[in-house]
Structure 1
Amino acid sequence: MRLEQVEAFLAVVETGSFQKAARLCQVTQSTVSRQVQALETELGLPLLHRQAKATLTVAGDRFLPHASRICREWRNAVTEIRELAEGKQTELCVAAIHSACAQFLPPVLQQFCSRRPQVQLRVTSLGSDRALKVLRDGLVDVAIVMNNPRLTLSSEMVVRSLYTETVEVLMAAGHPLTEYEAIPWTALAEYPHVVFKDGYGMQRLVQNTFAQLGKQFYPALELNTLDAFRGMVRQGKMISILPKSALLDADDTLAVRPIAQDAGCHSLEREVVAVTTQDRLEIPPIAEFFQLVCDKVPPLVAKMFGDPAP
């Protein structure tokens, strides 16, 4: 079944004449006749009584509402896709890691909203693995995550590096580990850790590093918000290994220390990237937002970290 066959049938029903239907469709009368006949052959029953005025058969009467719906849905689909290509998107969904949402995205979001007030932004804080999954499932348009080549290395993914940051240790201001200027991994293994839940890149990075170094790792508590991390660490001996951007709001009840680089051990870094898909970059608002993130976030990070602007 072809759309022009359905349109020819509807034109005959509307005008009551194959000749008038041909003028309406801007084709020859023989073309309309062939299209309707091909439709009847495919459906297995005649749809029209071919008299002075064409009228519906029983099968034609049953088929008419379906034919109308098919053409209506097609017109709606064409309109929607054309508006999408013209940038008339009404919603843009973003999934981002917590620290990016809190520290670096607000100025970008404000600028995009000023540029495109007709587009409603929906931003959700998620762990990196979960954010990439909802991107692949088509539930969001852009993900801002800790890079994981295992999940982003595919032909349809577009990945742009935003910044690389060190991973440091958060603890209470009076914690015994504050005696170190830089804390060795051996000392980190002696205390219980507050960690992110499964699905967060940081949780995997920390666990893997302890395993690679052959050190004991004691994940005492799983949380998923930075406020909760700070609240628990303030209470006593628990510590947490977090990215630098998550530690910018630490107050004087908390202490932050880097991880020592010494023989057999190493400091940690993570790369944060913006990810979308090739097809989404064909849609103007998504392409504009993605480029805005890539242009604005690196200098914002450099300013917050006190580094030279890239």
Structure 2
Amino acid sequence: MRLEHLQAFLSVAATGSFQKAAQECNVTQSTISRQIQTLEAELGTSLFHRTSQAKLTIAGDCLLPQARKISQAWAQAVQEIDTLMAGKQPELCVAAIQSVCAYFLPPILQQFCQVYPEVQLRVTALGSDRSLKVLRDGLVDVAIVMENPLLTTGPEMVVDVLYEEPIQVLMAAEHPLSRCSAVPWAELVHRPQVMFKDGYGMQRLVKEQFQRYGVEPKTVLELNTLEAFRGIVRQGQLIALLPQSALIDSQQDETLAIRPTEDPPLVRRVLLVTTQDRVDIPPIQRFCALVRGANQRIISAVA
């Protein structure tokens, strides 16, 4: 069954005439007749009494309300898709890692709201793995995350590398490692530390680095907010390995110290990720362009 067969049926039922239905549908009468015959063949019964006026049979009466529902549902679906592709979607949902939400996104969000004031923008701070999962599940439109080849590869994924940044050591100002200009990995692997919870890309990145030295990190606490990291580390005993952008607020805190690691440096890569079915939707397209543009300005300023 094709939609035009149902439309032909509805037109004949409304006009009571194959000829008038053909004029209404802007096709020949033979086309209307053929479409009705095809529909009747599929259903195994006649839908009209062929007299001077086309009258519905009992089967036709049974089909009529269902055909109307199908036609109305299709018209509504077409309208909603037209609205979506015209850039009039009701909301745009973004999932991003905390440091991106705190320092990178705010000016971009303001620009987007000026361009699309009618679109409700929803931003959620999540770990990278969780952000990618909800993107794959269709719960968000865009994710800004740490690279994870297991979750960012696939023909449906559209991935842009935004930037790379070093991982640094956060500690209390009086911590013994604060005397180092760059902290050796041989020291870090033996120090108790606080780490992001499971599902956060930073936990995976740090664990992989420690595994290269044949050890497991001595994790004492797992947290999921930057404020909590600062509060715990400030107590004096624990260290944390965090990306440079997550340490902006800590740089002016005299109770804390930030040190780079010795070579080889540990670096995280931050990605902008969406899916193929979303890239041509105007608000999503515009949001991604704003993210890329802001990133290029940051890279140019640093260079």
Which amino acid in 2 is paired with 1:270? R
What is the alpha-carbon distance in structure 1 between the residues aligned to residue 216 and residue 85 of structure 2?
Answer: 54
* Equivalent of 2:257 in 232, 248, 255: 255
Q: Is the deviation greater in 39-48 or in 148-157? A: 148-157
What is the alpha-carbon distance in structure 1 between the residues aligned to residue 64 and residue 10 of structure 2?
Answer: 8
Name the count of aligned residue pairs. Answer: 301
TM norm structure 1? 0.91
SS at match of 1:281: coil
Q: Is the deviation greater in 219-228 or in 4-13? A: 219-228
What is the alpha-carbon distance in structure 2 between the residues aligned to residue 135 and residue 146 of structure 1?
Answer: 14
Cα deviation, 1:86-136, whole Å, max 9, x if unaligned, reads: 222222111111100100100011001101112221111111122122222
Structure 1: 5+ residue runs without aligned partners? none
The match for 2:86 is: 86
Structure 2: 5+ residue runs without aligned partners? none
SS at match of 1:282: coil
What is the alpha-carbon distance in structure 2 between the residues aligned to residue 221 and residue 292 of structure 1?
Answer: 37
SS at match of 2:279: helix
Checking the alignment, whether the CA contact within 8 Å between 2:185 and 2:261 is kept in structure 1 is yes
SS at match of 1:138: coil
Q: Is the deviation greater in 45-54 or in 288-297? A: 45-54
Shift of 1:206: 0.4
The match for 1:271 is: 269
Q: 1:112 to 1:292 in 2, by over 3 A?
A: same
Q: Is the deviation greater in 183-192 or in 281-290? A: 183-192
The match for 2:43 is: 43
What is the alpha-carbon distance in structure 2 between the residues aligned to residue 208 and residue 86 of structure 1?
Answer: 45
The match for 1:176 is: 176
Checking the alignment, whether the CA contact within 8 Å between 1:160 and 1:273 is kept in structure 2 is yes
Cα deviation, 1:254-308, whole Å, max 9, x if unaligned, reads: 22111122xxxx22111112112233222122111111101113434775xxx33
Shift of 1:29: 2.0
Shift of 1:79: 1.7
The match for 1:166 is: 166
Cα deviation, 1:28-68, whole Å, max 9, x if unaligned, reads: 22221221121111012222233333332222222112111
Checking the alignment, whether the CA contact within 8 Å between 1:105 and 1:297 is kept in structure 2 is no
Checking the alignment, whether the CA contact within 8 Å between 2:131 and 2:143 is kept in structure 1 is yes
What is the alpha-carbon distance in structure 2 between the residues aligned to residue 60 and residue 237 of structure 1?
Answer: 81
User: What aligned pairs does 1:206-285 form with structure 2 within 5 A after superposition?
Assistant: 206-250=206-250, 251-261=253-263, 266-285=264-283
Cα deviation, 1:126-176, whole Å, max 9, x if unaligned, reads: 111221222222222211111223332333322222111110111222222
Q: 1:119 to 1:203 in 2, by over 3 A?
A: same
The match for 2:149 is: 149
Which amino acid in 1 is paired with 2:222? E
User: What aligned pairs does 1:94-109 form with structure 2 within 5 A after superposition?
Assistant: 94-109=94-109
What is the alpha-carbon distance in structure 1 between the residues aligned to residue 243 and residue 45 of structure 2?
Answer: 69
What is the alpha-carbon distance in structure 2 between the residues aligned to residue 60 and residue 254 of structure 1?
Answer: 79
Q: Does 1:3 align with 2:17?
A: no
Shift of 1:248: 0.5
What is the alpha-carbon distance in structure 1 between the residues aligned to residue 9 and residue 116 of structure 2?
Answer: 43
User: What aligned pairs does 1:182-193 form with structure 2 within 5 A after superposition?
Assistant: 182-193=182-193
TM norm structure 2? 0.93
Q: Is the deviation greater in 193-202 or in 79-88? A: 79-88
SS at match of 1:93: strand
Checking the alignment, whether the CA contact within 8 Å between 1:185 and 1:215 is kept in structure 2 is no
Checking the alignment, whether the CA contact within 8 Å between 2:207 and 2:216 is kept in structure 1 is no
SS at match of 1:20: helix
The match for 2:12 is: 12
